[in-house]
Amino acid sequence: MVPSATISASEGITSFSALDTSVTSTANITECKGTSAACTPAQLTAYMLNEWKNQVTTNLPAGRAVVCRDSAPKDTSGAGAGLYHWTCDNQGDMLMIKLGWSAKTAKNDKLMQAIAEDDRPRIVITIFGNQKDFVVAP
């Protein structure tokens, strides 16, 4: 079982709210699969995160995923104004899941080549947390 503090939707950084697949981990990961696995909640959390990172980087061409708290997920000025970016400010009460990959493009399609070369998330999903965190006082 994963401890509730690990997956809390309240403000603060947890194992599940500060993940970037482009950051290499040097931690030893315990194999937590199969009926004979005897893992602690912390080991299970690390194993699950490592497995997800492997899936992203293995199955998406040049795949990257970032899970974080981000109160300002888009650029507000410059050439990228209104577009999502990878960096996170670790503020706020909503988690963002940002996914990106390199798409194949036709050699003569300059617009799609420019988009493919732009290092930005292609999908951004906002996750609302536990409803108790979003109760509006009467």
What is the domain partition of the chain in residue ranges?
4-133
Type and span of the H or E element at 14: none
Q: What is the rounded CA–CA span in Å between residue 17 and residue 9?
A: 9
Tens digits of residue pLDDT in 68-125: 888 889 999 988 899 999 999 888 777 889 999 887 777 787 776 766 677 889 899 9
Average pLDDT over the chain reads 78
Task: Find where tokens 């931690």 sit.
Answer: 27
Asked if residue 8 lies in contact with residue 14, where contact means CB atoms within 8 angstroms, the answer is yes
Type and span of the H or E element at 127: strand 123-127
Asked if residue 16 lies in contact with residue 50, where contact means CB atoms within 8 angstroms, the answer is no
- Token pair, residue 2, equals 């994963």
